[in-house]
Amino acid sequence: MAAPPYPKIENLYASLDGGEARAVGVLKRPARTGQIARWLCTEKIDGTNIRVSLEVYDGPSTSGPQLCEGYRVQFYGRTNKAQMPDFIQEYLGATFKVGDMQWLWQGRRGCVNCVGAGKVLMDTVVRCHCVEPYPITLYGEVYGAGIQGGGNYRRDGGVSFRLFDVLVAEKHWLTWESVAGVAECVHQDGAPAG
């Protein structure tokens, strides 16, 4: 199953005369957005929206570097019909491996072996027996040469990924602090925030 597309974000402020201009300080939906005490804004990166999905694989019984216990890493654009250039697919495939992504799975909080971290430190790090795999979707922006105006971000001709949100088990959105932790686990940067 394809990872869910990122939900559309409505403008926070009401429009002036029904046009594109906004009435700053006048909330569009005060009953919904007026209750939020703290907002976090991240930089809009001029690239292409990507979903990196650690998801159930129910295809033919095969094994390989992109399969782990019936899960695989799959890449999607902003929509399920979005076309992705080969060089972006290659970059993502080299960057997000199922072996690294599986460490995002957390264990049970009450586990005496890993205390919920999902990892047990021995001579080598092994996944704890209490970990039950579940889907995880990373939402981010791929930018760089040949992608929108993203060449301005990278002068070396390469591409990069910036993480801006994470959906766990298709129902839990992570806090920004947890998103930053996920970014660190997968060796990527988060979107600049302030």
Residue with tokens 């979107």: 191
| Residue at 52 is within a domain | yes
- Record the pTM: 0.83
| Residue at 3 is within a domain | no
Residues 6 or more apart whose Cβ sits within 8 Å of residue 117: 106, 107, 128
| Residue at 74 is within a domain | yes
| Residue at 11 is within a domain | no
Instruction: Give the tokens for residue 142.
Output: 């791929």
Could you tell me the residue range of the domain that residue 73 belongs to? 42-190
Residue 22 β-bridge partners: 15
> What pLDDT score does 75 carry?
94
| Residue at 108 is within a domain | yes
Gap between the Cα atoms of 62 and 8, Å rounded: 36
| Residue at 151 is within a domain | yes
How many structural domains are present in the chain? 1
CATH code, domain carrying 93: 3.30.470
Gap between the Cα atoms of 48 and 145, Å rounded: 12
Q: Tell me the pLDDT band of 113, cut-offs 50, 70 and 90.
A: confident
Mean of pLDDT over the chain: 83
Residue with tokens 């209750």: 35
pLDDT digits (tens, 9 = 90+) for 5-54: 898 877 888 888 877 888 888 888 888 777 878 888 888 888 899 999 99
| Residue at 121 is within a domain | yes
> What pLDDT score does 155 carry?
72
| Residue at 8 is within a domain | no
pLDDT beyond 60 at 95: yes
